[in-house]
Amino acid sequence: MFTQFLGNYLLRKGIVNQDQLFTAMSKLSQSHIKLGTIAISEGLMTANEVDECLYVQTRENKRFGEIAVDRGYLTDDQVSVLLSHQTPDYMLLGQILVDDGIFSYEELERIIFDYKNDSELYDLSLDIENQDAVQTILSKFFLIAEMQVTEHNIMYLELMFNSLIRFIGEDFTPLSPMVVDEFPITFGVSQAILGDREFISHIDCDRETAIAFASRYAKEDFTEFNEYTVAALEDFLNLHNGLYIVNVSNDTSKDIALEPPVVTEDGVLCGAEKCIVFPVAYPFGTVHLITCF
Amino acid sequence: MDITNKKILVCDDSILARKQLMDAVNEIATGATFIEGKNGAEAVEFYKNENPDIVFMDIVMPEKDGTEALAEIREYDNEATIIIVSSVGTQEQLKKAIKLGAKDFIQKPFEKNQIKEIIESRLGGQ
């Protein structure tokens, strides 16, 4: 999930544009992390040292690790440890952007440093298991939208990002959220969550985006907007909300329920209080995930 | 596996979910006759009219939800084989479904293997 968070940061800060980011995101599944990237991530080599070794590698038929050891930047033991190390997934995105010429390793090193500062993750290494780090970053999303940060809000958003990764694909970037009184509907499906704390969840996008989203969800190649594409959006929202209420139920022993999803093709979405809009950009279009309280 | 003459009632308000379930059955068995229902009321009606061998039923549906339909069908036929397939897999829902007589509970998204096991164990030996 940190890859998506880093993508959001890079866009927000104007370090990359959407096209550059989508191009890099589309290469994630076919790319492998390089030893130099891991060494920077672990603070064992500077970006300049990595650049130097990469330059030497273009002139000598040697592995990166051998060159780094020859030059005294790493020991053999450190190379072994790095090769077996599980590197944070966001570093792969950084590496692809370096390979694409968007920025240098030196700039990547600074970007990651600034990103950790921006996200207040000074003492945390961003590995997959680091739940505190996930929650810290998710809290930021609510603060950007000037929303109250509650345990349930964070859980809902975390599950939403996980559902997107699991059912649609990891190549998305969460854009900055907004709090609005009303949201004009393009096309979408809504589902009410009933219980102590009721709210309406909604997924909204244009029809072309809906076709692509549905194709990924159903693992089918839909070419037109029809009842199957609509059903795919409903099923996605229903599955995501189902996971949410299972989690809430497990945590609090309170039973909450779902209403069947309904299609909304026009009009305005609003809640008794307000709506929070989480735009999520995929290469095929932007999907708005909205909750109205 | 040949399940010719077996009737399977698939009840879900999502046309895609019904298709995915029927595709999963068709991948492992041939000859099944499917009956599709879009809500709990249709599930009860079609069960009484068609007397299917097995029912796959969602919970969250319009008009009449899956647990109400489950209760009504079991009241009509206490031997009915009903499998709940739902995204709402809370302990509460699970207990309720089992208490009402559901034979199994599959959390969505289902794995094809889960459908295979159900079909083999419930229809294979008949």
Q: Which residues of A touch B (CB under 8 A)?
A: 167, 218, 227-228, 231-232, 234-235, 238-239, 241-243, 245-246, 249-250, 255, 257-260
**B15-28 vs B112-123: helix axis angle to the nearest 10?**
60
- Among B10, B11, B13, B14, the strongest candidate for a mutation testing the A interface, having the largest count of A CBs within 10 A, is B14
pLDDT of residue A268: 86
Give the nearest partner residue to B60 out of A232, A243, A258, using CB atoms. A258
pLDDT of residue A125: 52
pLDDT per position as a tens digit, A218-274? 999 999 999 999 999 999 999 999 988 888 877 666 668 889 999 988 888 887 778
pLDDT of residue A234: 95
b/e sequence A134-146, b meaning 16+ C-beta within 10 Å = bbebbbbbbeebe
- Return d(Cα A217, Cα A230) in angstroms, integer: 11
Q: Which residue of B has its CA nearest to A244?
A: B88
Residues 6+ apart with CB under 8 A from A260: A191, A238, B13, B60, B61, B62
The 3-state DSSP class for residue B32 equals coil
Q: What is the edge-to-edge ordering of all strands in the sheet holding B82-86?
A: B33-37, B7-11, B54-57, B82-86, B104-107
Reply yes or no on whether the pLDDT at B44 is more than 70: yes
Residues 6+ apart with CB under 8 A from A69: A75, A76, A79
CA A55 to chain centre: 32
Residues in B closer than 8 angstroms to A250, CB to CB, are 90-91
Give the nearest partner residue to B108 out of A239, A250, A255, using CB atoms. A239
Average pLDDT of the residues in A35-62: 88
Burial of A60 per CB tally in 10 Å (0-12, 13-18, 19+)? exposed
pTM for this one? 0.82
Whose tokens are 């300049």? That residue is: A48
- B104, B109, B113, B118 alpha-carbon torsion, rounded to 10°: 20
- Among A211, A216, A238, the strongest candidate for a mutation testing the B interface, having the largest count of B CBs within 10 A, is A238
What confidence category does residue A2 fall into, taking pLDDT thresholds of 50, 70 and 90?
confident
Burial of A291 per CB tally in 10 Å (0-12, 13-18, 19+)? buried
Residues in A closer than 8 angstroms to B109, CB to CB, are 167, 239
Average pLDDT of the residues in A150-176: 87
Reply yes or no on whether the pLDDT at B3 is more than 70: yes
Residues in B closer than 8 angstroms to A258, CB to CB, are 60, 87-88
Query: Which domains are delineated in chain B?
Result: 7-119 (3.40.50.2300)
Reply yes or no on whether the pLDDT at A204 is more than 80: yes
pLDDT of residue B16: 96
pLDDT of residue A148: 75
Tell me whether residues A231 and B88 touch, CB distance under 8 A.
no
Query: What's the one-letter identity of residue B112?
Result: K
- Return d(Cα A38, Cα A44) in angstroms, integer: 9
The 3-state DSSP class for residue A226 equals coil
pLDDT per position as a tens digit, B77-99? 999 999 999 988 787 888 889 99
Beta strands in A109-254 (DSSP E): 173-174, 178-184, 188-194, 199-204
What confidence category does residue A124 fall into, taking pLDDT thresholds of 50, 70 and 90?
very low
Tell me whether residues A249 and B87 touch, CB distance under 8 A.
no
- Tell me the residues of chain B between 90 and 109 that have a Cβ less than 8 Å away from chain A: 90-93, 108-109
Max distance between CA atoms of chain B, in angstroms, equals: 36
Q: Which residue of B has its CA nearest to A215?
A: B16
Tell which residue, A202, A189, A198, A174, has the closest CA to residue A276: A202
Tell me whether residues A245 and B88 touch, CB distance under 8 A.
yes
What confidence category does residue A120 fall into, taking pLDDT thresholds of 50, 70 and 90?
low
Query: Which domains are delineated in chain A?
Result: 2-134 (no CATH), 137-292 (3.40.1550.10)
Handedness of CA A75, A77, A80, A84 (dihedral sign): negative
Whose tokens are 């999963």? That residue is: B24
Residues in B closer than 8 angstroms to A222, CB to CB, are none
| pLDDT cut 70: percent of chain A above it | 92
